[in-house]
Each structure stands twice: as structure tokens, then as C-alpha cells.
Structure 1
Amino acid sequence: MDIVDLTESPALSPQYKGKRRQQTEGSSPQPKKRRTKKDQTEGAGGSKAIKPPKTKPEKRTDAAGRTVRFASAASQKVQERIARAMPGSGHRLFLIDRKLVAPVGSDGGPIEEFNVLGATANVYKVTISRHPSCSCPDHAKGNVCKHLLFVMLRVIRLAETDSLVWQRALLTSEAEQVLGGERSTRMDEAVMAAESVREQYQRMTGKTEAGAAADAAGAKARRAIEGDCPICFEDLQAEGNGAQEPLVFCKECGNNVHKQCFERWTNSKKAAGVPITCVLCRAPWEVPADPGDGDKSSYVNLASHSEAHRGASASLEDLYGDRAVWIQANQGLMGRRAAANLWAASQGRM
């Protein structure tokens, strides 16, 4: 019987058998290289495609660089301040002037400043930008104050339901919408202070030549520096002649008073929310301070020049009702426990 060797197939050609012999001797086949997108791009055009750099979305941050969340709805505190900013609330707010600092399209966004006559006839500076702010004490405590809301709602004329009204920080595009007039609605003609009030503000802040002339005329009315201070009853000594501290005088009656004593008198008036007056003649005291100088402890007061504020009560109780006790507590005029007791009594809980 003939023996057939089945290890080799006669159908295989010598060339194919040679390839199989190479594989069996340890030479593994090379995998086919896959073309990448980079190879396809370079092969098609002959040059490498350059992708545009990715732009990071702008973050909503405050002036200190901290991230601020978007508030889709107004909080209870903001709603209360919106009510105070609107007409008929008893909080007499008026616009004195406005100044464009940086137009729309500027690096960092647009900026505009507004000088607002407050309920007590103090003048506050409101700044609308990516970081809305006000020079008033309420905003210094971290609140969205009524002066800022007054500008947003009645000067710029945003709708009360517009969520940009109460944001603590704006994106550049949002600030451009607000100051560019894209979201403005009706015109409120009653926002401007009387022309005489605006002119007096210009004089008191030294922005006109008339202001310097008025100060020079007032200096002639100053009385001789003699006698005692009407507040501390210590002897008044002429400045430059061994005086312990500088003096100020009333431009209405001309009487002198220690500057430090009058500052304490001024702080007590501000804490009570009433206009600053002369200790002796009770005439309204003009405070020649620029609200934009960064010193938030003193403001220009125009109570004696504003018909809208003349004779109107500016006490905390009349302006804020039963919430006045909490304002007085925050100002250090009473303890928080006493304020809580008064609050509970006003709510009928005692």
C-alpha cells in the first residue's frame, strides 16, 4: 500500500509554500497602519490645519473677583427695596446728574455714574457697570440698595421683572444691554431733581466758579473765635494760637464749634436719619463733601434746598415703619435684644 504524506498539500504553489514557511519560522505579519485625521488633512491640502483657540465663557464675578451666582428671582429684601424705590413710597428719590465713564464696547465693559438725592436729602453715587455699587450705608452692608434699584428702574427704565435689576454682578454683555438702552421701557419724567437743587449741588461740590464765590461770601459771616464750644462747653481757641483742634462754623449764623464735637453731632443726626443742622440756630448744615471721594462717612445734604424734602419727615420710623428698630440696632443705637423686644411688641407677640 502506498503511503500518502498529508502534511503538504499538492494544491499549494511553491511561492505560497514559501510564505507559509516564513511565517512558521517566527516572522509575524505586520498590521496595516490606519490613517489618522491628521494624515488625511495633510494629505488633502498639503499643510496642517490650524484650529482657532477656544474662548472661555466669562464668569460672573464681583469687584473682588469672587464668583457670584445668578439670582433668577428677587429676594424678599430686594422686593422691599424695590417698593421703596418706586413713586408713592414716601422715600423721595431724585436724580441730580449722570456721567459716562466708559462707553459701550470699552475693555472691561461700560461704566456710568449717577448722583442720587436720597430720602434724607443726602447725595449718593450709584455706579452701574459689571459691578453695580452705591456709596450708601445699606449697600456697604452687602445689600442691593434702593438707590441702585431707583437708577435701574426709574432712570435706566428696566422692567420690575427684569432679572438684571437685582444682580450683584453683571456680565459684560449684560452691562452693555443695561446701559445701551436695549432693555429700557417707559420714560419717567419725575426722576430729575429740581434745577435749583442740581445747581446747588454743583456749587457745594466745587464744580462751578459760583461754588468758590459762595464759599468766599460765607467766610465773611464767620464770627470772632471766642467763648465756649456749644457742644462740649470747652474754651474755643483761635487756630494757630495754641488751638487743640480745628474749628468749623455755621454759614447761616456764623457761630464756631469744635470740628470733632460737630462730627459727633453729625453722626448722631445721621444715625437718627434726620438732616444735619446747626447746634445753635438749627439751620440746615451744608456739608461740602464729594460723595465720590471714597469717604462714605459724610455726604452732601441738600435738605434746605429741596422743596420735595422740606417739611417732610425723614425719621427712620416714618421711612421704615416697625423695621426701624433693626436699622437702629445695626447702627449701634440700641441692643439687638431690645430691638427684638420692640419688634415683637409691634407684631403683637408680647
Structure 2
Amino acid sequence: MSSKSFTQSPYTKATKTPSSTTKYKAPTSSSSQTPTKKRKSMTTSSRHDNEHPDTRKTPKRAKKDSDEEKRLRRFRAKPPGTYLERLGRVRTQRMFLIDRRRNDKELEEVFDIAGTTGNIYQVTINKIPDCSCPDSKKGNQCKHIIYVMVNVLKSREDLAYQLAFLTPELTEIFASAPSTPQTAGSELSNATETGGLRKPLEGDCPVCVMEFEPGEDILWCKAACGNNIHRQCFEQWVESKAGAVKCVYCRTLWKGDEVGVKRVLKGGVGSVNAGGYVNIAGQLGLSGQRDMSSYHPYWVARQYGDRYDDYYNGY
């Protein structure tokens, strides 16, 4: 055979020549790869946070001033039912203002009140008003405190039912309170001499601090100022003061024969009852029994139960 000729069999596996081999590309480092848009966005955001570190932080809450005065008992947004119930008694039951003493340095005033049963209670108006009666000792706002706030001090309605006061509130209450004959050294502006001519029946009685009503037994100063006063209140005034009988308003010697009561001094009059209170019911012409007409029967039953008769010797 001449030259060896070779024909590739269809069953023979073809071998790749170097020219047909694919060139190998070395992998590029991750640092040289083009970042995605999402990554670029995050990088921009991070750079922005680093440049302005405070823009995304929640602002700190302002601290309360440590010098701010705090109310010592919870604030009442509206008058509760217990207050309204006692206010009803204050408006229908007569009590007597025997004495009052102001302490301006302590923003405090103390009132001696003869209750409806004749017991004498001491009401103190300061940052936390207090009374010596049993109801107040239980933590309640008693009718004697309400009587002083509403009738004597004539405080704003939204202050009258509060259980505690702030300094500005106390200052306002005392600054706007009217004078009464019991105020130390007071001489009332309406105690002008009229030669005994009676003044119009208007305003409040100076002792019970309640408005005059038609048909009530009322006296007036016939010696000088002509001011009016309930007979029962005048007798109480006489019995709580020593010496000669004088007008509640103008302090002129009283003219008239209405003084038919014994003169007694507070602290040396009456008797001490089972509750430990000085009781002057007899001297004031009171029965010594509590007026129960404005009390809820359920409350009476819970307070006294089978001791119903003891209800008359309380407060």
C-alpha cells in the first residue's frame, strides 16, 4: 500500500486539539466586582448615619423639675358623690363658727366648729385639710371641712372638694376669704354706726355664716350698727365669750333684754361625752340628737347596726 491512509472510524473517540480548548479565566476578587444597587444604597445610608449620628435617635424625654410641688393626695377632676352628699347636709344643717386662728407663716388656719349635735370640733385648713371628728379620722372629707371651705372661706367650687392643696391654691383661698367676727382683731367693714336703725336683711349671719331666710328668728344691734344675727347664733356667741355682752360686729355693748342665757367659756362649758368631745348642745339650745333626714338609711345601718341609739351620741 502506498502511503498509509487512515479514515476515522465513527466509533473512534475524537480528541480535542489544543486550539479547541477553552481558555481558563481566573476568578476575580470580590473587591473588584461591581456592587449591586441595593448594596450601594445601604452603603450610602450607612455613610449618612456615620456623618449624622443623632438624626435617627429618639429624643430623650425631658426630666421633670425636681423642685415642682406635688399634691399630697390625689387630684379630684370633679366632685364625687360622697362630697355632694355631705354638701347637702352643710346647706341644710346649721353649725356654729366659734373661733378661727390664722397662721400666715405656715399657710394654715384653724377653726373651732360646733356641730349639729353640739360637739366642738377643730378644723385645720392647710395642705391636707383635717378635722378632729370621727368621719375625718377615717380619711374622709367630713361635712365640717366642707362647711369651712364653702360657708366660711367661700373658696372656689373646684377647690372646695379637693383632698389636698398646693401652695398657690392655699394662698388664693386665704387671700380671697372674707373676714368674720371671729377673725383675730377684725372689725368688719359693715359695722358702721346707724344709731340702732336696723339694716336690710341680706347677706350671711356672722356666726353660722349662712344666708338669712324669711321667717327666721333674727335680732339686730339696737345700740349702734343695726346689723342682723340669728337669735340662736347670738346666744351661742354670748355663751362662748367672757365678760360683758357685745355686738358681734361693732363690739358695742349689747342693748336689749334678749340675753337670757348663761355666760360660759369655751373649754369650761358643757360636758365631755362618750366620744371625748366637749358638748355644748344644752347651752346652744340643741337637742343633742343628730338630724338624720339627709342620711342614707343604708349608711346608718352599716355604721351602727343594732347600736342605732348610739347614732345620737356621735358626730
Q: TM-score, normalised by structure 1?
A: 0.44
Tell me which of the two structures has the higher relative contact order, counting C-alpha pairs closer than 8 angstroms and 6 or more residues apart: 2
Q: Which has the higher helix share?
A: 1
Q: Which has the larger radius of gyration?
A: 2
